[in-house]
Amino acid sequence: MRIIKTIAELREALRLTRKRALVPTMGNLHAGHLSLVRIARQRGDLVITSLFVNRLQFAPHEDFATYPRTFERDCELLAGSGCDIVFSPADDEIYSEAQGYTVHPPPELNDILEGQVRPGFFTGVCTVVLKLFNIVQPDVAVFGKKDYQQLLMVRSMVRQLALPIEIVPGETVRDASGLALSSRNGYLNDSQRTEAAQLQKALRNLAVAVQSGRTDWPTLEREALEFLGARGWQADYVAIRRQRDLREATLGDPLVALAAARLGGTRLIDNLEI
Ligand code: PAF
C-alpha cells in the first residue's frame, strides 16, 4: 500500500491504472469505513482511500480543530483491508488558495434536514468531493448510507454534472447495541455510549409503526422526538421521507426515517430504510 500526499504524485501513480475505486473519508476509520473499502475492492482494480479532514464542511463553532486525526492507525487498518493507495493531502494541498469556486447544491436537497441545521455543510462536502473526483478520476466511488443525504447529494451532483463515475452505496455498520458506527462516537462517555443506541431504537419503533399500517407520519415523528427528549436528547429532527430524494413522502413511496440529535455535546445522525 502506498501513502501519497501530493496531487502530482497521485496523478503519476494513477497513470496507466485501470478501474479506479475511490473511498473518500475524513480518517479516524472504523469498521464502517473498512466495509466501504471492501466494496471498493470488489468494484475496482485499484482502491484509493482519501484521508482528508475537510475544513470547508465545518462551521466555525464545529469540531474541525478537535476532529480526531489518527493517521498511523488508519493506515494500518487500510493496509489490512485491501486498499492500494492512501491519499492523505495536507490542507494546503487541497486548498492552496482560497476556494472561490464552490458547489452549491439545489435548495430542495440542500435546505432540508442536515443542510437546514448545518448551513454551508453540503457546499463544503460537494466541493471537496468534486475536487477529489477531479484529482483521482475514479470509475467508482463508495459512500456509506449512514450519511444518507450526503449519498443522495453526491449521486445527484454526479448525474447533473455528467461525471463518468458510478456511486456505490455501502450499508451502515452497527455495533452490538445497534449504534451506527461513526467517528464522533469517540466523543461519548460510557453512559452516553450505552444511551446512544436509543437513537436507532427510536427509528426502529417508528419503522415498526409504519410497517404495521400507521400513516399518521407527523405524529410518529413527534412521538420519536418526545421519546428522545424524555431521555435527555436534544433532537434536531426526526423525519419520514421518500428514499429517492428525501422529499415529503406519499403512500406507496419507499420510505426512509432520518434523525439527528445531540447527546451531551455530541451530535449523532442515523437513518433506517423502511
Ligand atoms: O463522509 C465524510 O467523511 C465526508 O463528508 C467526505 C465525503 C469524506 C467529504 O469530506
For the chain, list the domains and their CATH numbers. 2-170 (3.40.50.620), 183-268 (3.30.1300.10)
- Which residue positions in the chain have pLDDT lower than 50? none
pLDDT score of 132? 98
Q: What does the alpha-carbon distance between residue 231 and residue 20 come to, in Å, rounded to a whole number?
A: 45
Helix residue ranges per DSSP H, 106-183: 107-110, 113-117, 121-136, 148-160
pLDDT score of 18? 86
Atom of ligand 1 nearest to the CA of 53: 10
Task: Determine the 3-state secondary structure of 149 from DSSP.
Answer: helix
Grid cell 427528549 in the structure block, residue: 229
The C-alpha angle with vertex 173 and arms to 227 and 266, in degrees rounded to 5, equals 50
In tens, the pLDDT along 173-200 reads 999 999 999 999 999 999 999 999 999 9
- Whole-number Cα distances in Å, 181 to 95, 113, 197, 200: 29, 20, 10, 11
Substitution site in 23, 26, 102 for ligand 1 pocket (most atoms within 8 Å of beta carbon): 26
pLDDT score of 17? 86
* 197, three cell numbers: 443506541
**Known catalytic residue: 33?**
yes
pLDDT score of 216? 95
pLDDT score of 242? 97
Q: What does the alpha-carbon distance between residue 198 and residue 229 come to, in Å, rounded to a whole number?
A: 11
pLDDT score of 45? 96
The candidate with the shortest Cα–Cα distance to 271, out of 191, 178, 183, is 178
Q: What is the pTM of this model?
A: 0.97
Measure CA 132 to chain center. 15
Q: What does the alpha-carbon distance between residue 232 and residue 224 come to, in Å, rounded to a whole number?
A: 13
First to last CA, the chain: 39
Pocket of ligand 1 (CB under 6 A): 24-26, 54, 57, 125, 128-129, 147, 150
- Whole-number Cα distances in Å, 93 to 2, 12, 157: 18, 16, 23
DSSP bridge partners of 46: 20
pLDDT score of 16? 87
